């Protein structure tokens, strides 16, 4: 006998409209065997016999929350889907108690069903739309699609759709939107900040997704996210709040619950993933890691994600794999939103064998049949690793997750571990500069001499602490004093060091890999999986080492890549030099960042005492020139070098060798007259300091023609730019920069 679902009526608008979760159009698209009939009291859905839920007036034992949870699960996963006990309890707490709820459950458990069902039930009761804070655009796009599958109308407000904002807020005002998703940086947008009070006043439910981001103990703490969460958590007690995450240990869970409030209800379950086969393949060189991935794509079924730690690595590895004949794409936060969305969709359709991605494709990306995750280099903590491998095997009985640890991992971990810690001296400069009056970011940069990226990071931290606030395009003090909490930051550093130690142990395979991840997350039910490479003694795919042919292909590829150096185009504002720069032409570098082709040669070279360049490096630079010369408008007539306090012999040996091989004049044109300026200075301050210490040698004659200018390393580009400007003023018609290593 068929069961009947009856929608609760709620306020109508714009003519005839029923609550979207039981609107016949979306639901009927998802539930085979359902049809809808119009009753006097609303719409009724005639369901297949597999689901037996009735309107509570006919069955007092069934709650409104349970009805809507079953409807949403059926719409998203099919009529046979049944609620989990904690799903039912969480939805009931939100809908019936207006509670603050924290759900910590494994990826694929169904956390999103909790907020879709709560939204459905609250909207049926006439409550306002749900406001979801979501940290990544990729995650927001998937959530909009998931909401539609649940029969809800969702929209997003983010930095890529400014033109849509008015229409979205119109829909909210007209009560035709069920869900609004926002990104955390929107709080810093003056237009959004103005609308926020009205938005909160009409909100029926607040959801903080990926809530570990609001905890500074979390592996992926984001000041913008915590700042917006603080604002949203100030909403009235009558509005329920839900926070969800799959990656929170006990300390993070407690911190999130503390921020939600003392009456928070927490639902936490086992984080084990029975479908994942974890493996670690240690001891590979950079080139062997590339080759291993290539061999793995030849044998792994389905499509997947290859994670890399840096943007540069995603581009390089994707280029190598395309050269091997695989359909792959690089994915990172530096790409346009439309490009990233196209890649996400192509992977979802299995039009790509793999996407080589940074963590920008981590949280929330929804592809249930993702068959594998390969990590080229280790994330900084087991929690971060668990978050990313959680993309795989959500609807598969078997999926592979392989870690290829790298010798450079710890350097990258150390950088990210310290990047978010405020320096009291720099903070003091910011507060002093803002004392007289609000300042623009550019004015602050010039006043404090703090490099732009670091300055923006410090301002975010100070904004979270409510020491500074935005006033239009300027920053201003709030009057709240800033106190450096040394104990807090010391404790955080200790946590990061423990996480690094755990990751070392994981990469060394000291016990069952899944149990290890469960213990790192304080899972209440850790157990050996019986499936990982430690439990079974077997490695997937290529095994312990890739094939020799693929490794040689990786070597040829890596050493044949051209690294372009884009010249600086404008002198920094606030300095004595102004306008366009005509000093440098496009340049070249032998290697960029942790380049697999040259890491083994350049690492020891820069870390050892100064000395001449070895033969392989000299040969590599000659190869770069050989490929580059096809793009020269005019052949160089001379070689010069940037003077260096750290590597004078290295740079001179390169300059003399290239002059000899290329039959060019050697011009010792430049000299240092003081200490090298701090590389962490803001642009205007660094240029001013360089102009004080970098000069032409007295009486030097620079040939009238293009000059090849050699340096060891290139980062901001200001040293090369100032040196090139001096050579141009002395008669060079063009300056072609050539460096051994370009740093990110």
524 — pLDDT class (breaks 50, 70, 90): confident
Looking up tokens 């079953």 gives 70
Q: Is the pLDDT of residue 275 over 70?
A: yes
Q: Per residue in 78-90, pLDDT tens?
A: 888 889 999 999 9
Three-state DSSP class for 130?
A: strand
Return the pLDDT at 34. 36
Return the pLDDT at 64. 84
Distance from C-alpha of 695 to C-alpha of 432, rounded to nearest angstrom = 34
Distance from C-alpha of 188 to C-alpha of 224, rounded to nearest angstrom = 8
Q: Per residue in 2-38, pLDDT tens?
A: 333 434 333 333 222 333 333 333 333 333 333 333 3
Q: Is the pLDDT of residue 576 over 70?
A: yes
Least confident interval from 313-317, 484-488, 634-638, 672-676: 484-488
Over range 284-295, report the average pLDDT.
Answer: 96
Q: Distances in Å between the alpha carbon of 531 and those of 158, 194, 327, 514, 580?
A: 41, 53, 29, 9, 60
Select, from the ranges 136-140, 450-454, 585-589, 675-679, the one with the highest average predicted confidence (pLDDT). 585-589
Say if CB 208 and CB 241 are below 8 A apart: yes
The structure's pTM equals: 0.77
Query: Two tokens at 710?
Result: 């050699």
Q: Which residue has the higher pLDDT, 289 or 217?
A: 289
Distance from C-alpha of 645 to C-alpha of 610, rounded to nearest angstrom = 10
> 100 pairs with which residues across the strands?
241
Say if CB 331 and CB 356 are below 8 A apart: yes
578 — pLDDT class (breaks 50, 70, 90): confident
The radius of gyration of the chain's CA atoms, rounded to the nearest angstrom, is 29
Q: Distances in Å between the alpha carbon of 227 and those of 190, 243, 480?
A: 15, 15, 15
Over range 455-474, report the average pLDDT.
Answer: 87
Q: Is the pLDDT of residue 452 over 70?
A: yes
Q: Is the pLDDT of residue 737 over 90?
A: yes
Select, from the ranges 151-160, 225-234, 434-443, the one with the highest average predicted confidence (pLDDT). 434-443
Phi, psi angles (nearest 5°) of residue 253? -60, -45
Return the pLDDT at 698. 94
Say if CB 551 and CB 596 are below 8 A apart: no
Over range 316-320, report the average pLDDT.
Answer: 96
State the number of CA atoms in the 13 A half-sphere of 259 facing the CB. Answer: 26
Q: Per residue in 375-434, pLDDT tens?
A: 999 888 887 888 888 888 877 889 999 999 988 777 777 776 666 778 899 999 999 999
444 — pLDDT class (breaks 50, 70, 90): very high
- 237-262 b/e with 16+ CB inside 10 Å = b? eebbbbbbbbbbbeebbbbbbebbee
Query: Residue 736: which of 629, 622, 617, 618 has the closest Cα?
Result: 629
Return the pLDDT at 188. 63
Is the backbone of residue 614 left (phi > 0), alpha (psi -120 to 50) or beta? Answer: beta
Q: Is the pLDDT of residue 148 over 50?
A: yes
Return the pLDDT at 27. 36
Distance from C-alpha of 461 to C-alpha of 624, rounded to nearest angstrom = 43
Distance from C-alpha of 439 to C-alpha of 475, rounded to nearest angstrom = 5
Domains and CATH numbers, the chain: 64-268 (3.40.50.300), 276-413+493-558 (3.40.50.300), 423-483 (1.10.10.10), 563-742 (3.40.50.2020)
Least confident interval from 213-217, 379-383, 446-450, 648-652: 213-217
Say if CB 243 and CB 101 are below 8 A apart: yes
Q: Which residue has the higher pLDDT, 362 or 291?
A: 291
Three-state DSSP class for 438?
A: coil
49's CB contacts (< 8 A; 6+ apart) are 1, 2, 3
Return the pLDDT at 655. 96
Say if CB 707 and CB 734 are below 8 A apart: yes
Query: Two tokens at 610?
Result: 């100064």
Average pLDDT over the chain reads: 84
- 318-351 b/e with 16+ CB inside 10 Å = b? bebbeebebebbbbbeebeeeebeebbeebbeee
Return the pLDDT at 501. 83
In this structure, the number of other CB atoms found within 10 A of the CB of residue 79 comes to 18
Q: Distances in Å between the alpha carbon of 104 and those of 87, 97, 396?
A: 11, 20, 22
Percent share of the chain, pLDDT over 90: 47
Least confident interval from 58-62, 123-127, 397-401, 720-724: 58-62
């Amino acid at each position: 006998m068929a069961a009947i679902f009856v929608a609760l009526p709620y306020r109508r608008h714009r003519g005839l409209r029923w609550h979207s979760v039981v609107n016949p159009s979306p639901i009927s698209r998802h539930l085979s065997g359902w049809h809808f009939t119009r009753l006097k009291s609303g719409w009724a859905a005639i369901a297949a016999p597999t689901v037996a839920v009735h309107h509570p007036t006919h069955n007092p034992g069934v709650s409104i929350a349970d009805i809507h949870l079953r409807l949403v699960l059926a719409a998203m996963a099919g009529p046979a889907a049944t609620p989990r006990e904690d799903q039912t309890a969480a939805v009931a707490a939100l809908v019936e108690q207006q509670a603050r709820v924290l759900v910590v459950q494994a990826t694929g458990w169904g956390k999103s069903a909790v907020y879709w069902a709560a939204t459905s039930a609250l909207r049926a009761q006439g409550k306002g739309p749900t406001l979801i804070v979501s940290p990544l655009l990729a995650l927001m796009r998937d959530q909009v699609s998931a909401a539609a599958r649940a029969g809800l109308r969702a929209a997003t407000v983010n930095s890529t759709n400014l033109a849509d904002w008015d229409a979205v807020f119109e829909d909210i005002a007209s009560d035709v939107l069920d869900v609004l998703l926002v990104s955390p940086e929107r709080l810093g947008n003056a237009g959004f900040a103005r609308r926020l009070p009205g938005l909160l006043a009409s909100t029926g439910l607040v959801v903080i997704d990926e809530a570990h981001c609001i905890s500074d103990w979390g592996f992926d703490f984001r000041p913008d996210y915590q700042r917006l969460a603080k604002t949203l958590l100030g909403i009235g007690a009558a509005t329920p709040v839900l926070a969800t995450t799959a990656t929170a240990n006990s300390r993070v869970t407690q911190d999130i619950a503390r921020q939600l409030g003392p009456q928070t209800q927490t639902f936490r379950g086992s984080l084990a993933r029975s479908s994942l086969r974890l493996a670690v393949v240690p001891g590979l060189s950079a080139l062997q890691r590339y080759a291993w991935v290539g061999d793995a794509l030849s044998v792994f079924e389905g499509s997947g994600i290859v994670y890399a730690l840096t943007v540069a690595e995603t581009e390089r590895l994707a280029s190598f794999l395309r050269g091997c004949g695989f359909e792959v794409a690089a994915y990172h936060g530096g790409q346009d939103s439309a490009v990233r969305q196209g890649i996400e969709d192509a992977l979802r359709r299995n039009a790509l064998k793999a996407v080589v991605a940074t963590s920008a494709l981590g949280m929330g990306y929804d592809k249930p049949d993702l068959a594998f995750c390969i990590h080229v280099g280790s994330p900084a903590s087991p929690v971060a690793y668990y978050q990313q491998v959680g993309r795989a095997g959500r609807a598969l009985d078997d999926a592979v997750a392989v870690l290829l640890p790298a010798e450079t991992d710890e350097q990258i971990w150390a950088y990210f571990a310290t990047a978010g810690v405020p320096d009291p001296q720099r903070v003091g400069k910011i507060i002093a500069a803002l004392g007289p009056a609000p300042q623009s970011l550019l004015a602050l940069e010039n006043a404090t001499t703090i490099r732009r990226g670091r300055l923006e990071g410090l301002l975010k931290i100070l904004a979270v602490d409510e020491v500074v606030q935005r006033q239009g395009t300027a920053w201003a003090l709030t009057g709240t004093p800033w106190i450096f909490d040394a104990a807090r930051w010391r404790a955080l550093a200790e946590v990061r060091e423990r996480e690094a130690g755990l990751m070392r142990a994981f990469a060394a395979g000291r016990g069952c890999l899944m149990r290890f991840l469960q213990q790192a997350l304080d899972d209440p039910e850790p157990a050996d999986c019986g499936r990982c490479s430690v439990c079974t003694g077997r490695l997937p795919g290529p095994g312990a080492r890739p094939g020799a042919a693929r490794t040689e292909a990786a070597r040829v590829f890596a050493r044949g890549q051209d690294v372009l150096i884009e010249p600086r185009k404008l002198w920094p504002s606030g300095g004595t030099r102004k306008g366009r720069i005509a000093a440098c032409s496009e340049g070249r570098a032998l290697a960029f960042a942790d380049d697999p082709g040259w890491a083994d040669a350049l690492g020891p070279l820069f870390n050892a005492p100064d000395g001449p360049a070895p033969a392989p490096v000299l040969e590599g630079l000659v190869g770069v020139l050989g490929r580059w010369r096809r793009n020269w408008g005019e052949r160089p007539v001379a070689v010069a070098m940037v003077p260096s306090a750290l590597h004078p012999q290295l740079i001179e040996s390169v300059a003399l060798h290239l002059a000899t091989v290329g039959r060019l004049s050697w011009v010792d044109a430049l000299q240092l007259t003081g200490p090298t300026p701090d590389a962490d200075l803001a642009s205007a301050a660094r240029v001013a300091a360089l102009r004080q210490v970098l000069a032409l040698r007295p009486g030097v004659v620079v040939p009238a023609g293009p000059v090849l200018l050699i340096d060891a390393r290139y980062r901001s580009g200001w040293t090369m730019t100032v040196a090139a400007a001096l050579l141009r003023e002395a008669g060079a018609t063009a300056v072609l920069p050539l460096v051994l290593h370009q740093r990110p």
